[in-house]
Amino acid sequence: MTIERAIEKRRSRWKESEDIRQDDRFIDRFAYFALTDPDWREALRRDPYLLIEGVMQVVDKEGKVVPFFLNAAQRRVLDVIRREGIDRPFFLLKGRQQGMTTLLTAMQLCLCLTRRNFAGLTMADNTDNAETIFLDKAKSLLSRLPASLVPHLKYNSRKELTFDRLGSTWRVATATSDAGRSRTLHFVHYSEVAFFKCDLVKLRRAMGQTVKKGLVVYETTANGFNQAKELWDSGTCVNIFVPWWETPEYVLEKTPPMDAWIGERVKRLLERGLSQSQCNWYAAKYRQLDKDGLRQEYPLSPEDAFVSSGECMFDKDALIDCLSRAKEGIRGRFVYTLRRDREGDRIEDIRFEQDEDGIVTLHRPPQVWEDEGGKTLEQFAIGGDTSGEGSDYYTAKVVSALTRETVATMRVRLIDDDLYAAQLYCLGKTYHDALIAVEINFCPTPVKLLAKWGYDNLYARGDEDEGTTIKRLGFRTTSVTRPVILSRLKRLFRDDPSLDPDPETLREMLSFVRTAEGRWEAAFGAHDDLVMALAIAHHAAEGLDGKREERADGVDWIDEHFDLNPQGETDLWD
């Protein structure tokens, strides 16, 4: 008999009898074969986690001792970890009481029992939680194992287990920036990492020197926009989102009263295929928690989980709905030639190169209407936000003056001003000589370069600060202009929250909140560079008609100079 068949036999016996004494006898027999059968020993060497369902017992939510059979959520997480290996850390985002800490604790215990010189660490947000994980979960699992499987214990304290004959150790600690230093570790579990009080960047840097060919798991419920959210967004981890509906016992037969807000969310869940009893349970939880508490503890999506707890300027639910349906555009960057001669500097030979890691996303092409008299071109405005105080990104948003939808987005960290300006130039030329409005508060260089290169459709403002009507290039954000452009943006997205298809912009809008001082800005740990660029773009678009006619005998700049696809390949927009 194989280990897998033995586990199935254990499961079927429990289903028939639910007799824990019979299960005790079964796991003793399982342990005997695990120690004596060469095939079983080899199987456990390859996959120690088979011990979880083979011999472990847990205390369920009703306080009864039962076999540890993985639920659907736990099984999916373990399958992902098995498949992906240890090359990258894992970020496990989950709701409340879904058994993830118990799973990870059991995994560490499996390795302690089967690996020589194994060193594991569980790090929690505070001392009480660290000791609770060890006493209520780790030692509870250990105490119910067959005695024949438990090696000799040298240390058995509130924070450490040491099996001296195997040389394996496992301890718990409270998260501090220097925890784990000078130790070689093979498994690190960060429990509720979003609630750590220390600097997560410094902690990861310190721990990065200690984990040698080991498994690293960041596990947490969400806690707003903080360093844990940045880690989730960074792409350095294998992200695993565990929705609450993967927990089978979250059902309720009776339908509770519902207001409009929870009714709309239930409608979306039913459309996803959830049962009415699952939706009833979710609606009942809403009566115990506020909206932000429900999002955090029982989220519908990662964005729902991380949504900021402050007063958001935009409709959170509408944005989350848009985000669930958002589609990535064509990513890449513009390449070009910058020519310098006696006639001055100019940009030529523009083309767009697709690149999954590109800094520009094209959401749709510009529209052109042709008739016998010539062409009518869709008009666009571009808002630009340079990296300034409290900002790490150069951004640009291209909006249609006709439909007000976003048609292109640029977002890049740490780019030289001239390279940023060149991408703006190419975007402007792509979208029918769009009106470009770039914020100049911290850096006027991009605007100066655009003018130097002959881009003649630049936004000009009246210089209110000096009390004159002299027109000056670029947009200046002040205590007067900032509330105006944000108010316009709020009205536009209140009427139509689907105007912007860019996922990163929608995420920034979710974290754009009112501070205690009454100012609208990014929540702590979040960014608002795309939001501000979008607000500037819509402000600039106010002065445009939406369409521009071109005579039949005129030569369109794009026809003469620009081709999205000069090699004659399939159209990028198909």
pLDDT tens-digit series, residues 59-102: 988 889 999 999 999 999 999 999 999 989 999 999 888 889 99
In the predicted model, what is the mean pLDDT of the chain?
A: 88
Q: Which sequence spans correspond to the domains of the chain?
A: 70-242, 331-502+527-561
Over the stretch 512-535, which tens digit does the pLDDT of each residue have? 988 878 889 988 778 899 999 999
Residue 155: left (phi > 0), alpha (psi -120 to 50), or beta?
A: beta
| 232 pLDDT above the threshold of 60 | yes
Owner of token pair 């059968």: 37
List, in order, residues 6 or more apart from 457 with CB less than 8 Å away.
428, 433, 434, 435, 436
Question: Are 485 and 492 within 8 A, CB to CB?
Answer: no
Q: Is the pLDDT of residue 22 over 60?
A: yes
DSSP assignment of 358-402, as one string? -SEEE-SPPPEEEETTEEEEE-EEEEEE---TT--EEEEEEEETT
Q: How confident is the model at residue 470 (pLDDT cuts 50, 70, 90)?
A: low
CATH class of residue range 331-502+527-561? alpha beta
Quickly tell me which residue has 């130039």 as its tokens.
425
DSSP 461-503: EE-GGGT---EEESB---TTHHHHHHHHHHHHHHH-TTS---H
Q: Running DSSP on this structure, what letter comes out for residue 256?
A: P
Span 106-130, mean pLDDT? 90
User: Tell me, which fold does domain 70-242 have in CATH?
Assistant: Rossmann fold (3.40.50)
Helix (H) and strand (E) counts in the chain: 21, 24
What would the mean pLDDT of 16-25 be, rounded to a whole number?
94
| % of the chain beyond a pLDDT of 70 | 92
213: region left, alpha or beta (phi > 0 left; psi from -120 to 50 alpha): left
Which pLDDT tens digit goes with each residue over 188-212? Answer: 999 999 999 888 888 888 887 788 7
Three-point CA angle 520, 447, 442, nearest 5°: 45
Q: Which whole number is the average pLDDT over 484-493? A: 96
**CA pair distance 244, 230, nearest whole angstrom:** 22
What average pLDDT does the segment 214-221 reach? Answer: 93
Least confident segment among 3-12, 69-78, 548-557 = 548-557
Q: Is the pLDDT of residue 464 over 60?
A: no
The predicted-structure confidence for 250-308, as pLDDT tens digits, reads as follows 999 999 999 999 998 999 899 989 999 999 999 999 988 888 888 888 988 888 888 76
How high is the pLDDT of residue 341?
A: 84
Q: Is the pLDDT of residue 566 over 50?
A: no
Tell me: pLDDT of 21 over 50: yes
Residue 446: helix, strand or coil by DSSP?
Answer: helix
Tell me: pLDDT of 182 over 60.
no
Phi/psi at 397 (5° precision): -125, 130
Distance in angstroms (rounded) separating the CA atoms of residues 152 and 170: 14
Q: Which residue has the higher pLDDT, 213 or 499?
A: 499
Q: How many CB atoms lie within 10 A of CB 143?
A: 9
Domains 70-242 and 331-502+527-561 share a fold: no
Label residues 39-69 b or e (16+ Cβ within 10 Å = b): ebeebbeeebbbbbbbbbbbeeeeeeeebbb
Contact status, residue 433 vs residue 514, Cβ threshold 8 Å: no
